[in-house]
A and B are shown apart, each in its own frame.
Chain A
């Protein structure tokens, strides 16, 4: 499968030249195999998708980890939603109180957006997921709730023998004693276990995290530990804090490499980067 990072910034898009190298668009990842396309999250990075020739059988699947604005703000600008010939499937976390349609409808309605959900031209199919397992084309996908405010899932995507895990918003260390080392007590561990590639939240440095505990995001050091405990083969740190410039991310990365030698390679995610598994 081919994985292309379309947006790796957290919280809010950045346009400053100082964040140009890693990229300023919010969460969106394109996953392709055998002519089948998955779009993971619909942050502002969705506008970077090049759909030409990629939509097989006029169907696109968008998998939303959750409905925070930085993960859906690009949805209204996704052209297939306005194409009568296209079937768009949106998969998103179930809530105890409101349907996915009602919750997405808050975004697709004035004053936030001029077009109502009911007026989208495509054939729209919504799927509510929780601890779920489903197949789309060549992909077998597992989802389950992870630690983050509001209903939030992560995804484990298998194609053939390869596994890509996507948990862009996650705070597995939330608790009095931080991250629990027993995998049974570690949020998201089933999704990440021995994945070939893990794309995981790493918004803060440990110093920043101490003042932002409970906000739903990870310190980079915790993400390294999470990847180590779940024995992933390669890690990408994503959901970069909008306040972190390219220069700061370079420095932070160099320090992490020095302080935390890992058994697996890890990098800071860069917008536009491609991976083949």
Chain B
């Protein structure tokens, strides 16, 4: 069964952009991540295709500015999936290779013309410490 056009077009847009982008369904399953996002996940989309929340959420550890673990419910993407609103946060991630990076994430819901909620998009970018 085909994904809604809103998800398909989100992927086509993400595929054309230089910023890392994740696209999930309403339950957080990772439907698509673009080439720049492969660096963050440490995996290639071509190899993994879609990933369940359990599979992709363990790919990195999230920490706040003080180095404390960041609970999932405080991550922008999770917040968007919960309340269907845009969110933004700057925090640290540590990938499977142990590499820590300070990133900013903006997430927004994919809500179609008829008001249906289809999932969320998260845009990442590296944010050096000021």
B48 to chain A, nearest CB (A): 14
CA distance A130 to B5 in the complex (A): 11
CA distance A62 to B2 in the complex (A): 26
Quick check: is B115 within 8 A (CB to CB) of the other chain? Answer: yes
- Within 8 Å by CB of B15, from A128, A175, A187, A189, lies A175
A20 to chain B, nearest CB (A): 36
User: Judging by beta carbons under 8 Å apart, are A177 and B15 in contact?
Assistant: yes
CA distance A70 to B1 in the complex (A): 31
Quick check: is A144 within 8 A (CB to CB) of the other chain? Answer: yes
User: Judging by beta carbons under 8 Å apart, are A176 and B16 in contact?
Assistant: yes
The binding surface of chain A is classed by DSSP as loop
User: Judging by beta carbons under 8 Å apart, are B112 and A185 in contact?
Assistant: no
What is the 8 Å Cβ interface bit string for chain B, positions 91-130, against chain A (1 contact, 0 not)? 0000000000000000000001111100000000000000
Complex interface: chain A residues within 8 A of B8 (CB): 147, 180, 185-187
Q: How many residues of B contact A (CB 8 A)?
A: 17
CA distance A185 to B9 in the complex (A): 9
- Within 8 Å by CB of A175, from B16, B112, B115, lies B16
User: Judging by beta carbons under 8 Å apart, are A145 and B113 in contact?
Assistant: yes
What is the 8 Å Cβ interface bit string for chain B, positions 1-26, against chain A (1 contact, 0 not)? 11111101101100110000000000
Complex interface: chain A residues within 8 A of B114 (CB): 94, 96, 128, 130
B15 to chain A, nearest CB (A): 5
CA distance A187 to B9 in the complex (A): 9
CA distance A94 to B5 in the complex (A): 14
- In the complex, the 8 A-B pairs of residues with the closest C-beta atoms, listed nearest first: A175-B12, A130-B114, A96-B113, A145-B5, A176-B16, A94-B114, A190-B2, A189-B2
Extra contacts, 20 of them, besides A96-B112, A145-B6 (Cβ < 8 A), are: A93-B113, A94-B113, A94-B114, A95-B113, A96-B115, A130-B116, A144-B5, A145-B4, A145-B5, A146-B5, A147-B5, A175-B16, A176-B12, A176-B16, A184-B1, A184-B3, A185-B3, A187-B2, A187-B9, A190-B1
